Structures are given as structure tokens and as C-alpha cells.
Amino acid sequence: DIQMTQSPSTLSASVGDRVTITCRASQSVSGWLAWYQQKPGRAPKLLIYTASNLQSGVPSRFSGSGSGTEFTLTISSLQPDDFATYYCQQYNSYLLTFGGGTKVEIK
């Protein structure tokens, strides 16, 4: 199975900060990587697919990059609505796997 490792697990930041979350795969997943945002009591929401494609309706302050085994999610200017937990997910092949999550907290 492909293991996905996110860092950091928790991130404290202020409104307006630039935030970067890293996701590493135990083997290459090419560009088959997605990022999700989850708020408490809510289902996850797709932000980015195929490593760098912004899902429709997602603000442009979110961006993704990377390929192979290392990927990043960047929030260019953190907004109050962005405090949430973020997950990466590889879909290079079944079995699909998620990273452990990164909780973005208010500093």
C-alpha cells in the first residue's frame, strides 16, 4: 500500500499568513493527488485534484503543486473560513489512501 505522510500535523497561523502543508508518498503517485478541507461536523470538501487543479468554486488563494512523491498545498493569505483540517489523498491506484491530516488553528 502507498503510505501518505502529512506535515505538520498541527499548524498555528494568523489571518493573512501564507500557509504551506506538505504531503509525501511512500512511492510515486505521479500527479494523482487530491487535497480536501474538513470542518468539524462536516463532510470533506475537494479543493485540489491532480496535484494542482483547483476544484470549481474553490477560492484562488488555494494552490497545489508537486509530483511523484512530494506535494504541497499552499494558502496564500489565510482567511477566517480556512481554519480547518486538511487531508491529502493519493489515487494512483486502489488502495486509495489519505494522509493523517493537518489541523490549521488560529494563532
The residue ranges that bind other proteins (CB under 8 A) are 1, 34, 36, 38, 43-46, 49-50, 55, 87, 89, 91-101
Closest distance of CB 29 from other proteins, Å = 11
Closest distance of CB 107 from other proteins, Å = 23
Closest distance of CB 4 from other proteins, Å = 10
Taking residue 57's Cβ as centre, other Cβ atoms within 10 Å add up to 8
Nearest to 7 by CA among 24, 22, 27: 22
Q: Do the beta carbons of residue 47 and residue 53 sit within 8 Å? A: no
Nearer to other proteins, 68 or 100 (CB): 100
What's the full length of the chain, in residues? 107
